Structure 1
Amino acid sequence: MPAPTPARRFLAETLAPLVDLVYPPRCPVCGEGIAQQVGLCAACWEQLEIPSEPSCALCQRPFSGANMEAGAICLPCMKEPPRHDGIAAATLYNDVSRRLVLAFKHGRRIALTPMLARLMAARLPPPADRLIVPVPLHRWRLWYRGFNQAALLGRSLAGMGHGALVVDALVRTRRTPVLRGLGAKARRRALAGAIRVSRSGAKAVKGRSVILVDDVLTSGATSQACVAALKRAGATSVIICCFARVLDGERNPGMATAPPWPQSETPETAKVPGAT
């Protein structure tokens, strides 16, 4: 994403008071008035949960105990070592991050993209020569929604220098059912063969480090299918980068308490400022 030109910056700054007059800036989570068009009110900022140390050496899942040894591995990773090379999550999934995702994805508040991406970028390693690959949507889902939220976030990360965006490296060959409520085996069956690397993507990812981008990491089944496809195509490493991460219930006693599992993520059942 190219940096704004001086003329565009001047135009944006000139028109900002008019835009604020017509559309008073409000917090996308609670609807309170704020100073700028993009941002959160102070109360909602305070409620965002940022992953902290100590954390799992393999998946960066935070531990609640402060005296965990360096290199400690969480129970899920001990049971099934991940194929990815780390998870960079901007926030842990709670009510505030859920409402932001709903406003962004279902409310079509795509102006939230830069703010969400900046929070994600803060969790990534320093910018380097990597590829940025978004989790793909099936073409019918893309047609219905009108955009791929992971691709928008990836474009912003690329604009910050975190890598080159390859938007079509992964393709979803068929529609998959909702995975929430399915067991691990059922999730794998539902995703079997549903995600693959495109012909052009195979040439791009071979021998390269990849950042796999999505808005929310829930069970991890979809991201693991993406990682497996990228590794088969020759990617040397794959870091999963997301805005919000849901912690599952399979944790050891030293693991941080997980936010409640979302009962519904549809716009019809959640009142989100600006959602339609």
Structure 2
Amino acid sequence: MSGWMQRILFPPVCLGCSSLVTEPGTLCASCWGRLRFLERPWCPVMGTPFSLDLGDSMLSAEAIASPPPFARARSAVAYGGVARRLVQGLKFRDRTDLAPWMARWMLRAGGEILPEADLVVPVPLHRSRFFSRRFNQSAELARAVARLACVDYMPEALVRTRRTRQQVGLRASEREANVRGAFVVPDAHRPAIRARRVVLVDDVYTTGATVAAASRVLKRAGAREVDVLTFARVLPGDFRADLQEPI
């Protein structure tokens, strides 16, 4: 089918609201204006933006008070509004077609870490949740990121061994306890992890409990370094444990 015929039969629509746009994989002007891309200056460890440029070596209070097991965390956009609709469309409405476009923004956010990476690994779902959902949204994003960045993709390197509670409605400390001991690197894949730089991919960074637990397991398996890359980030001060809507 020719390009002009495809555009007539399947016109491109906005990723955020499905209104007509001129090019596929884009947002309309209204949705674009409501999307907050995370930019420098930011904490070099946590990737959270600063309101003022405090210098490349200045750490956030979060990074100083509770140093994470990963080296760096980066996210493409702040979670909320259009970004939230994109995440929930991918996660709960089978919009796997969104993943390649979301990954392009993640590629930009991961500009420091992806050139140094040896492997891209997604945060896994437990097999029972995978069978009910039929796909892992983090794996869809990780596969697209790995392809765009020309980095090896290894979805089997990390396994979730027990089904954890949904994190919605849990306080930060409860989230940490919920995912503690939930991940393992299978023995067969430890050689592929050892001494490698791993980029761990998830859809949303909320409190960091999930990616921290997964990073610790990867480090114990011998990973040289673990960086975290997510599509969206719940910024400090925006997290509310009483919110009952799924992330």
How far residue 151 of structure 1 moved from its aligned partner, in angstroms, is 1.1
**Aligned 8 A contact 1:154 1:213 in 2:** yes
| RMSD of aligned residue pairs (Cα, Å) | 2.0
Pairing 1:56–2:43 present: yes
In structure 2, relative to structure 1, the CA distance for the partners of 1:207 and 1:58 (3 Å cut) is same
**1:180-220 deviations in Å (ceiling 9; x for gaps):** 33233322221121111122331211100000001111111
User: After alignment, is 196-205 or 235-244 more displaced?
Assistant: 196-205
Report the equivalent of 2:124. Answer: 136
Pairing 1:180–2:180 present: no
Q: What is the CA–CA distance in structure 1 between the aligned matches of 2:46 and 2:184, rounded to whole Å?
A: 23
**Aligned 8 A contact 2:169 2:244 in 1:** no
Report the equivalent of 2:98. Answer: 112
Pairing 1:101–2:87 present: yes
Pairing 1:235–2:216 present: no
Report the equivalent of 2:178. Answer: 190
**Aligned 8 A contact 1:129 1:162 in 2:** no
User: After alignment, is 170-179 or 184-193 more displaced?
Assistant: 184-193
**Aligned 8 A contact 1:94 1:260 in 2:** no
How far residue 47 of structure 1 moved from its aligned partner, in angstroms, is 1.9
Report the equivalent of 1:264. Answer: 245
Which structure's relative contact order is higher, taking Cα pairs within 8 Å and 6+ residues apart?
Answer: 1
- Given candidates 14, 27, 44, the residue that maps to 2:31 is 44
TM-score of the pair, normalised by structure 1: 0.82
Q: What is the CA–CA distance in structure 2 between the aligned matches of 1:62 and 1:45, rounded to whole Å?
A: 19
**Aligned 8 A contact 2:139 2:155 in 1:** yes
- Given candidates 175, 178, 194, the residue that maps to 1:206 is 194
Pairing 1:31–2:10 present: no
- The DSSP-based 3-state class of the residue aligned with 2:202 is strand
Report the equivalent of 2:138. Answer: 150
**Among the aligned pairs, what percent are the same residue?**
37
- The DSSP-based 3-state class of the residue aligned with 1:160 is helix
Q: What is the CA–CA distance in structure 2 between the aligned matches of 1:259 and 1:38, rounded to whole Å?
A: 29
- The DSSP-based 3-state class of the residue aligned with 2:67 is coil
Q: What is the CA–CA distance in structure 2 between the aligned matches of 1:65 and 1:95, rounded to whole Å?
A: 25
**Aligned 8 A contact 1:149 1:215 in 2:** yes
TM-score of the pair, normalised by structure 2: 0.91
In structure 2, relative to structure 1, the CA distance for the partners of 1:259 and 1:44 (3 Å cut) is farther
**Aligned 8 A contact 1:92 1:259 in 2:** no
User: After alignment, is 228-237 or 102-111 more displaced?
Assistant: 102-111
Aligned residues: 244
In structure 2, relative to structure 1, the CA distance for the partners of 1:54 and 1:128 (3 Å cut) is closer
Q: Once superposed, which parts of structure 1, at least 4 consecutive aligned residues long, lie more than 3 Å away?
A: 14-24, 258-263
Report the equivalent of 1:163. Answer: 151
In structure 2, relative to structure 1, the CA distance for the partners of 1:75 and 1:82 (3 Å cut) is same
How far residue 53 of structure 1 moved from its aligned partner, in angstroms, is 1.7
Spell out the pairing of 1:65-80 with structure 2 (5 A cutoff).
Answer: 65-66=52-53, 68-80=54-66
Tell me which amino acid in the other structure corresponds to 1:96.
V
In structure 2, relative to structure 1, the CA distance for the partners of 1:245 and 1:145 (3 Å cut) is same
Tell me which amino acid in the other structure corresponds to 1:204.
A
User: After alignment, is 147-156 or 121-130 more displaced?
Assistant: 121-130
**Aligned 8 A contact 2:36 2:77 in 1:** yes
Tell me which amino acid in the other structure corresponds to 1:36.
E
- Given candidates 218, 231, 234, the residue that maps to 1:246 is 234
